[in-house]
Structure 1
Amino acid sequence: MCTVSWLLHDNGYDVFFNRDEQKGRAIARPPERFREQGTEFLMPVDPDGGGTWIATNQHGLSLCLLNYYQGDIPELPLISRGLLVKMLAPSSSVADVVSTLNNLHMGSYAPFTLLVFAPDLNSHHGHVIAFQWDGHVLTQRPSVEPMISSSVAFQEVMIARREAFKSIMTEPQTVEKAWAFHRSHVPEAGYKSVCMHRDDANTVSFTHLSATPGATEMVYVDGSPCENVPTATETLIRKVPNMRLVASEKR
């Protein structure tokens, strides 16, 4: 029950995430700073498991996780999927993410889709990478935006939200249009709309993540984005990659 979209531009990328949850679930904490393995990263915190659904670090690498309700839940005792995002959050590259995933016992996690935004991703270089765990096998899949998950009437929800995306995110695509898309109630405020409203669940937060060569910023709206304004903004200064000097014999 989530929707993710993104914009790629000359100097980096923006990510937009509506988190949909059951109304009885504990309210998440706004983005906090963490330091692990020598890397600073930002993430809102789910108090139920201590993990998260979105994170960005000082290298400029970002991660988003959506539940994949159409997969099969393994029979083993499960680890919170949010802790997987926190584990991967210090990664300095996509290769680091892949290496960690390859060494995990995936049968300990319920199905998910993981989006990876590389540090050097922009409109001229790279693409958003998606990994999907269906409960049996981990595969790389196309990253078609908006990326959607829903436990209710998935096909109907997907069609409605992609139609809303087409109607709102016209060229030139802008951050303002992306915010409007994530606040939208198309065709009406309900289970199909991007800003989702059901009797038992609704959109509980909106996160806008912006990555440029100099910094990464996370803007957080606590509550439905149709009714609330940003409540927290955190910024990380980008870590400059180590430069190697190469000796030359030329004079």
Structure 2
Amino acid sequence: MCTVSFIPKHSGYILTSNRDESPKRKTFSPQQKLLKGGIKVTAPIDAEKGGTWIATDGAYKTACIMNGGFVKHKRELPYRKSRGQIVFEAFEADSFWGFIKESNFHNIEPFTLVLVDDENLLVLVWDGKEKRIQELDNSKSHLWSSSTLYNDEAHLEKLKYFESFLKNNQSTAENLLRLHGVEADNLFVLDLPHVKTVSTTQVIVKNGESDLIYREKVFSHEQ
């Protein structure tokens, strides 16, 4: 939920997400989930709340959520809904634009939601009081970091690393997994006492079809 990259490709895109969470929090491997209206998505599932941080419809749509808005916030529990449910709700709407405009996020903890379809790259930021909508250039690469775990300085450092990596490496799916620290820890991998990068999920869209790759981090028994 905490470091997300978007790379445009000639016939689609690659979106890769690192989830930073307690390594003790259980997650179910990616599976197909049936939503309202018969809509089907593929997503890893959080065992505690039943939501997800990333999902794809098998075609061109992908939704990915990060904790926090523009700045680190103070939690005001209880909230009425888990943010992981919002990802599924985005697919149930007629369009991502419709979801953004029609949804009410009152008493939902702040989040940043990246939404990609065949025409748009949208970012919805909910700061706890109002919605902010960003329509980004889907022909360019982008990087996001969760404001709850990374300050501006840390994000800028990752952004420089990201840009340097893309300049010196081909943006293949395998290289992007390496960028996100699947093979070895780097700036994209969080390693704090109680919060760590526990998995990396990648959605590859090509010619209107999507494939989801999921890699869990393996921790020693001491952790």
TM-score range, shorter chain: 0.7 to 0.9
TM norm structure 2: 0.83
Instruction: Give, in angstroms, the shift of residue 17 of structure 1.
Output: 0.4
- May I ask how many residue pairs the two structures share in their alignment? 212
For the residue of structure 2 that corresponds to 1:169, the secondary structure is helix
Flag structure 1 segments of 5+ consecutive residues without an equivalent: 228-251
In structure 2, which of residues 204, 210, 223 is the aligned counterpart of residue 210 of structure 1? 204
Distance verdict in 2 for CA 1:202–1:38, change over 3 Å: same
Q: Could you say which residue in structure 1 is the equivalent of 2:163?
A: 166
Contact 1:70–1:134 (Cα < 8 Å) also in 2: no
2:16–2:201 Cα contact (<8 Å) kept: yes
Give the C-alpha shift of residue 18 in structure 1. Answer: 0.4
Match of residue 239 from structure 1:
none
Task: Identify unmatched segments of 5+ residues in structure 2.
Answer: none
1:39 paired to 2:36: no
1:148 to 145, 148, 168: 145
Per the alignment, residue 99 of structure 2 pairs with: 97
Deviation at 1:108, TM superposition (A): 2.4
Distance 2:66 2:41 in 1: 19
- State the alpha-carbon separation in 2 of the partners of residues 218 and 66 from structure 1: 18
Give deviations 1:69-123, integer Å, cap 9, x for gaps: 6245456633100011122234453234234xx242x1221000000001x14xx
Contact 1:55-1:63 within 8 A present in 2 as well: yes
Distance verdict in 2 for CA 1:7–1:174, change over 3 Å: same
Q: Which has the higher contact order (CA 8 A, sep 6+)?
A: 2
Which one-letter code corresponds to 1:55 in the other structure?
A: A
Q: Structure 2: how far apart are the matches of 1:148 and 1:216? A: 24
Contact persistence 1:207–1:218 (CA under 8 A):
yes
Separation (CA, whole Å) in 2 of partners of 1:59 and 1:97: 18
Is contact 1:6–1:145 with CA below 8 Å preserved after alignment? Answer: yes
Instruction: Report the counterpart of residue 63 of structure 1 in structure 2.
Output: 63
2:107–2:128 contact (8 Å) kept in structure 1: no
Give the distance between the partners of 1:223 and 1:21, measured in 2 at CA.
11
Q: Which amino acid aligns with 1:134?
A: D
1:194-222 superposed Cα distances (whole Å, 9 cap, x missing partner): 01112221100100101223421111002
Question: Partner of 2:17 in structure 1?
Answer: 17
- Cα contact 2:60–2:208 (8 A) shared by 1: no
Deviations 1:135-192 (A, max 9, x none): 1101113658210014345123212211210221116533333222101899x85xxx
* Structure of larger gyration radius: 1
In 2: Cα distance, 1:3 partner to 1:73 partner: 21
Rounded to whole Å, the distance in 1 between the matches of 2:33 and 2:191 is 32
What residue identity is the alignment partner of 2:22? Q
Partner of 1:116: 115
Does 2:187 correspond to 1:177? no
Measure, in 2, the Cα distance between the counterparts of 1:197 and 1:30: 22
Q: Which amino acid aligns with 2:179?
A: F
